[in-house]
Chain A
């Protein structure tokens, strides 16, 4: 009896569970200590949660690009972070010019729309070119080849835009209309955060509608499942793949503008950290799974925002906010240990991949 049990449990499993268990225990102890210390007010917690949801919404929009491309091509598009950067970085010049002339504050709605449209268009074009030039010729190459190409394309795009627009971090203009706070009692939300949350929610709902209800959306799901059979149904697989990059690119461009509005700066490397975070979010949710990317993004955003204060402050760790990235990636490692398929993903082994 005992021997059977010991045969089924191997040493790595035990070590993994011990690591996971102690991290969970730390998180619990830290949270309880923070909450009982009463150092943070309810309004402060609310601030952190709202910030986390807004950030998570941005992660989710980027993560959708990773997950949709993975779903269809079974590759990680590592250049997606540069797709995210290219749009808002280009739109910066429009925003900056309008900001200086005062046009931005006179017509914030028109200007914001124009900035979104321009950024989404540029990101979309970069994404489509990437597919056409870098990935399509490698469609039937071994899987490592497009992966390495993606990393190369990522660096190429970073330095291309560095050459084009310069190496400096550029300040996105502040839009006066987005500065005020909506207040109710002690609680408050800044308009810009409302914009980010609403815009992200609308785009995700729109995407879900397209994928579930429309003809091309169903074709995208069919192609993701089996390209050869989809083609036998009369589906032009190449055009569906292009469409996937179009949608992923446009969402990344929009996410980039939201990011620029929230953090008010752009640069040629602005995509790196959010890109990795969004990739993490996609894996958290279950790579290839669209609702998973949305859940994973929100989850990561909230944990990253709340985590340092909630988990670490109570443990007496100084300047816990600086450890937010450590928390994000610890979370990734934990998920990979305990649920490799992600929160909503099916077991990878069950997929034919």
Chain B
């Protein structure tokens, strides 16, 4: 059975019907990517899974247990971590404090310390800047911090909303390497990307979303070959 299962969810912003029946599954150990144009509903899907928004219809289950309708902090505690769109670093908190916030709901001190070490080995740049305020980090460093902070929730499913957004090509490369490395170490990942080419390289499966609906789903390999994806998202003629 799928670890994370999203079943026909409908989400609204006031009267705007942003998600019109999204269904997707993420299996344990997979990287699944959700690609789509601006405004298609990718972020809204993540917000609905994380409990920031509640769906008006539909169900979301994690390991078979319903999580739709739970408040976001309860969903984090059940094992879904997120690096939100736009990084959303706490600017007035230090790098270390930002990471501590990721572990806020956890009580297992030794495991928290282990995860902190893990994040610092993953991103040595953050270790060097432990006591620097989050707001003074560069864009790339903030992205690392956002991912590190999500990792500190010790998620079973990690959701990343455009982790390569606005980064120089070298850093994009590094971020994708990190995503693969995390996955190899056992983290299940749901990845949102504008950079469809890259996303489809690291992902096992993918979904294409258009105006609030899934229009295509397949293995990453097949998606790379599909005409729709090549024309609309890989920029090929």
Determine whether the beta carbon of B52 is less than 8 Å from that of A232.
yes
Within 103-120 of B, Cβ neighbours of A (below 8 Å) are at 104-106
* In the bound complex, CA of A229 to CA of B97 (Å): 14
Say yes or no: is B181 at the interface (Cβ < 8 Å to chain A). no
* From B50, B52, B91, contact of A225 by CB (8 A): B91
Cα–Cα, bound, A229→B104 (Å): 12
Q: State the CA gap A236–B88 with chains docked (Å).
A: 17
Q: Which of A7-15, A41-49, A152-160, A213-221 contacts B (4 or more CB under 8 A)?
A: A213-221
Q: Return the CB mask of A214-244 against B: 1 if under 8 Å, else 0.
A: 0100110110011011111111110000000
B77 contacts the other chain (CB 8 A): yes
Inter-chain contact A218/B93, CB cutoff 8 Å: yes
With beta carbons under 8 angstroms apart, the residue of A225, A226, A235 that contacts B105 is: A235
Which of B52, B90, B149: most chain A CB closer than 10 A? B90
**Neighbouring A residues of B92 by C-beta, 8 Å:** 221, 225
One of B71, B90, B97 near A226 (C-beta < 8 A): B90
Asked if B100 is an interface residue, CB under 8 A from chain A, the answer is yes
| B-side contacts of A221, CB under 8 Å | 90, 92-93, 97
Chain A interface secondary structure, helix, strand, loop or mixed?
helix
Interface contact A229-B84, CB-CB below 8 Å: yes
A221–B82 alpha-carbon span in the complex (Å): 20
Q: Which of B82, B88, B104 touches A235 (beta carbons < 8 Å)?
A: B104
Q: Which of A222, A226, A233 contacts B76 (CB 8 A)?
A: A233
Name which of A215, A229, A233 has the most chain B CB atoms within 10 A of its CB: A233
CB–CB B73/A231 < 8 A: yes
A231 & B52 in contact (Cβ 8 Å cutoff):
yes
Chain B contacts of A219 at CB under 8 A?
101, 104
Tell me, in angstroms, the Cα distance from A228 to B52 when the chains sit together.
Answer: 7
Take A226-B88, A229-B84 as given contacts and tell me if A234 and B100 are in contact as well, using a CB distance cutoff of 8 Å: no
The CA-CA distance from A1 to B136 in the complex, in Å, is 37
Besides A221-B90, A229-B84, 15 new A-B residue pairs in contact (Cβ under 8 A), listed by A number = A215-B104, A218-B93, A222-B101, A225-B90, A225-B91, A225-B93, A226-B88, A232-B50, A232-B52, A232-B72, A233-B102, A234-B73, A234-B104, A234-B106, A236-B73
The 23 sampled A-B contact pairs (Cβ below 8 Å) are A218-B97, A221-B93, A222-B90, A225-B90, A225-B91, A225-B92, A228-B52, A228-B72, A228-B84, A228-B88, A229-B84, A229-B90, A231-B71, A231-B72, A232-B82, A232-B88, A233-B73, A233-B102, A233-B105, A234-B73, A234-B105, A234-B106, A235-B104
Which 3 pairs show the lowest CB-CB distances between chains A and B? A234-B105, A234-B76, A231-B72
Interface residues of B (CB under 8 A from A): 50-52, 71-73, 76-77, 82, 84, 88, 90-93, 97, 100-102, 104-106, 149, 153
